[in-house]
Homo-oligomer: A and B are copies of this chain.
Amino acid sequence: MESEPVIRALSALAQEHRLALFRLLVQAGPEGLAAGAIAGALGVPASSLSHHLTQLTNAGLIVQRRESRSLIYSADYRAMNALVGFLMENCCGGGACAPDTACEPITDEERKSA
């Protein structure tokens, strides 16, 4: 994987409203949400939201589909997973560097106790 699309994805997520938006869609699941519903949930003006939706779409993190007059957005889980994989890639030079937990996503247990 090239690093340029990764930068785009990270830049897209590195913004308060877009991070909230992406997480909203991640939690909404494959059904997604209409642009208007998102604007309401986040309290962001329509034109600003549209700008953010474009950024996330260009980054490949979300996808758009039309349903009558509404445009429905949903998270692209594969893109998110690819991003995570890229960050973890060749952790510690590919060798044994530390307990497994150090190179894998934290477990639910760890997350709750944090």
| A-B contacts besides A26-B91, A81-B105, 12 pairs, CB < 8 Å | A3-B19, A7-B15, A7-B19, A10-B10, A10-B19, A14-B14, A26-B92, A27-B94, A30-B92, A82-B106, A82-B111, A84-B87
Within 8 A of B (CB), among A1-49: 1, 3, 6-7, 10-11, 13-16, 19-20, 23, 26-30
Secondary structure of the A side of the interface?
helix
Q: With A and B bound together, what is the CA distance between A50 and B80 in angstroms?
A: 30
Protomer copies: 2
- Chain B's nearest CB lies how many Å from the CB of A108? 9
22 interchain pairs (CB within 8 A)? A3-B16, A3-B19, A3-B20, A7-B16, A10-B14, A10-B19, A11-B14, A14-B14, A26-B88, A26-B89, A27-B90, A27-B92, A27-B93, A27-B94, A28-B92, A30-B97, A77-B98, A78-B102, A81-B104, A82-B114, A85-B105, A85-B106
Contact B88 A30 (CB under 8 A): no
Q: With A and B bound together, what is the CA distance between A18 and B114 in angstroms?
A: 26
